[in-house]
Structure 1
Amino acid sequence: MTATRTHLSEDLSRLSLKPGDLVMVHASLRAIGPVEGGADSVIGAILDTIGPDGTMVMVIGTDHSAREAVKHLPEAEQVEALKAQAPVDIRTAPADPEIGALAEAFRTTPGVIAGLHPDSRFAAIGPAAERIVRDIPLHDYLGPDSPLDRLCDKQGKILRLGADENTVTALHLAEYYAGVADKRRVRRWYHITDDAGSRVVHVDSLDDSDGIAAWDGDYFGDILNEFLASGKASFGRVGRARAELFSANDIVCFGSKWMTAHLNPKKRAS
């Protein structure tokens, strides 16, 4: 059966997504299944449900495939290699294809505002959109005063529609608040163009690819599963997808405590 925008909105309402909600979305179109109108209808159903007073947020990233091709080089060589490549215009660049087709569909939706960070672009539509995505820190862009921090400050929610269990971007904020010793950090270089012109810039942050500490597997999945078992989420189906809705603050607090308890060296050794 092919779902419609109306069907999806009804499913979302049953999940307790409400008018006026500020919600960050992680979704798999494949998991949702056939939808009349495709990605646009999925986005439309969410916007219908939260109404004109609500705000929808997504991570869209940037297609930095050129950077990926040189990131294995020593830092000085990496910078020179990037200078020889065409810069990425972060004002107009497509979403990172690894995030999924919904991210690019959302980026190009009329009225959506996309952030201009070289590494981690968020996009949003609604009354809180400007506050969520604009003027975020260049370094530690998923920490204090990041879109994630602002989402929590405004009592935002997280909606997962068939997303992988390690797809909970808000847990990167928890990494900043966790009491973990010797957190791993990374530096990445980008050749970008924006309103200030073209340049090569570096971005420093906690390691949001391999994690802030050694762990057997992906600890985001472990945290999510324990959090979902704690009774603080709503569950349902949206289309064919398993759906979960919960407070951003709740999972960040839960995740921070979990990391503090499990990721310190003495804990890992025991």
Structure 2
Amino acid sequence: MDLDALLARAEGPVTRARIGRDLAALGLAEGDTVMFHTRLSALGYVAGGPPTLINALLDTVGERGTLVVTCGWHDALPYGFSGWPRPWQDAVRAEHPVYEPASSEADHDHGRLPEALRRWPGAVRSRHPDVSLAALGHAAAELMADHPWDDPHGPGSPLARLVDRGGRVLMLGAPLETLTLLHHAEALAEAPGKRFVEYEQPVLEDGRRVWRRFRDIDSSGGAFDYSAVTPAGQDPFETIGRAMVAAGIGRRGRVGAADSHLFEAADVLAFGRTWMEENITGPTGTGRPTEGGT
């Protein structure tokens, strides 16, 4: 989208002060711990780009607040590299760079904001190479500490701590399918047919490069078979998110030109987990469609 179209959509430049006013109107407040997902272009022309948005968020949550983003690792090896020809495997095992929280790039699929925030002075990034998060602010170190190597979306994870701290989730023009916190619901949900993956990545331990094996829910291919309970072509998290909004959960408003949502993290977890446990009956089941879910 060209600049003129971005300006027209937002009725002029979207500035730091304007974003701050819009965030306050949506309900974000001083002292909040908030995980945010952003589609920057949806806001319109943000004068100054990601730093403007991060500064506006910091202005709003203040010194007692904390910002959280999901990062991942852009250069992580694919899960299936163990099936590559042996010379290829030998080459990457010998020389593939280790994951380093301070310098490894955030996954580009998450947009520009995670990379900008994880580089911000004072930001703290979790140690898990595949599903790392980053935080900035008062509770950053507490939230990111000792990210579990296995079950990194489950108990003791940064996502679990976000909920425990009474955190919130902010969707700034981002589609509901990007609600990362729903992976925490998948990790906890007691529903049949849960899928897991095991994979290896190189990390530093006590200053040494080592290959570590990890186990997690299949957050890429889907932790459950959702095919019977979601509309064809629709991401399952979008289905759950729409059902959540239809149930009256969260607040909705505009930030710049972006249709945005603010949720309580505990509400997202509770709704998502209940939805999964009530609808998913296993790989061959039919499930029970949830009212308001399409």
TM-score range for the pair, normalised by the shorter chain length: over 0.9
Q: Match for 1:244 among 238, 261, 286? A: 261
Partner of 1:162: 173
For residue 135 of structure 1, report the CA deviation from its aligned partner: 0.6
Q: Match for 2:138 among 121, 127, 130? A: 127
Partner of 1:98: 109
Partner of 2:68: 57
Q: Deviations over 1:139-179 (max 9, x none)?
A: 00010010010000001000000112210011011112212
Classify the secondary structure of the residue corresponding to 1:268: coil
Instruction: Describe the shift of the 1:117–1:72 C-alpha distance in structure 2 as closer, same or farther (beyond 3 A).
Output: closer
Classify the secondary structure of the residue corresponding to 2:215: strand
Q: Distance in 2 between matches of 1:267 and 1:15?
A: 41
Q: Deviations over 1:56-100 (max 9, x none)?
A: 1111111125x13x7254389586453133223423111111111
Q: CA RMSD in A?
A: 2.0
Where do 4+ consecutive residues of structure 1 move more than 6 Å?
none
Aligned residues: 268
Q: Distance in 2 between matches of 1:268 and 1:165?
A: 25
Unaligned segments of structure 1, at least 5 residues: none
For residue 267 of structure 1, report the CA deviation from its aligned partner: 8.3
Q: Which amino acid aligns with 2:150?
A: H
For residue 194 of structure 1, report the CA deviation from its aligned partner: 5.8
Higher RCO (C-alpha under 8 Å, 6+ residues apart): 1
Classify the secondary structure of the residue corresponding to 1:166: helix
Unaligned segments of structure 2, at least 5 residues: 1-11, 228-233, 288-294
For residue 29 of structure 1, report the CA deviation from its aligned partner: 1.0
Q: Deviations over 1:43-66 (max 9, x none)?
A: 00011001111111111111125x
Q: Percent same amino acid at aligned positions?
A: 36
Partner of 2:120: 109
Q: In the TM superposition, what are the counterparts of 1:1-270 in structure 2 within 5 Å?
A: 1-64=12-75, 67-68=77-78, 71=80, 73-74=82-83, 80-91=90-101, 92-193=103-204, 195-216=206-227, 217-265=234-282, 268-269=285-286
Classify the secondary structure of the residue corresponding to 2:63: coil
Instruction: Name the TM-score, length of structure 2 as normaliser.
Output: 0.86
Q: Which amino acid aligns with 1:252?
A: L
Instruction: Name the TM-score, length of structure 1 as normaliser.
Output: 0.93
